[in-house]
Amino acid sequence: MTSQDTSRPSRRFLVGLLALVTAAFAGAGALIAGMPSAQATPAVPAQPPAAAEAPASAPASDGPALVLQLEQRVKANPDDLDSWQMLGRAYTVMGRQEDAVKAYRNIVRLKPDDAMAHAELGRSLGNANGRKLNAEAEKHLDKALALDPGNVMAHALLGRVALDRGQPAVAKKHFEDALEHLDTSHPFAQQLRQAIQIADSAASSPSK
């Protein structure tokens, strides 16, 4: 099951750089899948909530060249928001986590009041930290919820933080809030349902 799931990001990349928006929740899914007792959880949802439909206009072989073009654009114009956003998604899918953090830091710099920018930066910081959410990542996830209380990614990842801290009730509330703001048919919804079950099990287990 795991080997099948982990191949999904590379397959998504085949549709070209313009379709990288479909990987927006890949990092969140991987972080959720890393929870204790969540080995059976699918690693990456097939498509994020409200993802924009993008044409398969660029073959995979063009990906590195397109990324290079975007890097040249932001070097010439550090305030090129669109290019930073595409780079953040591209780096995430390509596994270039430190570069993704840099991209999302710039997006937050340019859009400090954008909830999703803070959520994506928090996710990227976690990915770059061995899929462990550190204090800075948590700060940005908290900021995302302050700006948008219904941010699915922030709730899901903060639920992971709470579960790691031995706070299953807090974790369950975050997972339930995330699920409430997500289409029930979305692939990520099943991960959230499983996360809620994990939190319930943790809450009912006797303390050691």
Domains of the chain: 2-50+59-148 (1.25.40.10)
- Max CA pair span of the chain: 58
What pLDDT score was predicted for residue 1? 42
Please give the Cα distance from 205 to 186 (Å, whole number): 30
* Cα dist from 4 to 11, 30, 35, 37, 97, whole Å: 11, 13, 19, 19, 22
Please give the Cα distance from 120 to 107 (Å, whole number): 9
Which stretches in the chain have pLDDT values below 50?
1-24, 26-27, 34-61, 208
8 Å CB contact between 84 and 110: yes
* Cα dist from 121 to 144, 161, 198, whole Å: 10, 16, 26
* Cα dist from 49 to 75, 93, 198, whole Å: 31, 17, 23
What pLDDT score was predicted for residue 164? 87
Asked whether the whole model's pTM tops 0.85, one would answer no
What pLDDT score was predicted for residue 45? 32
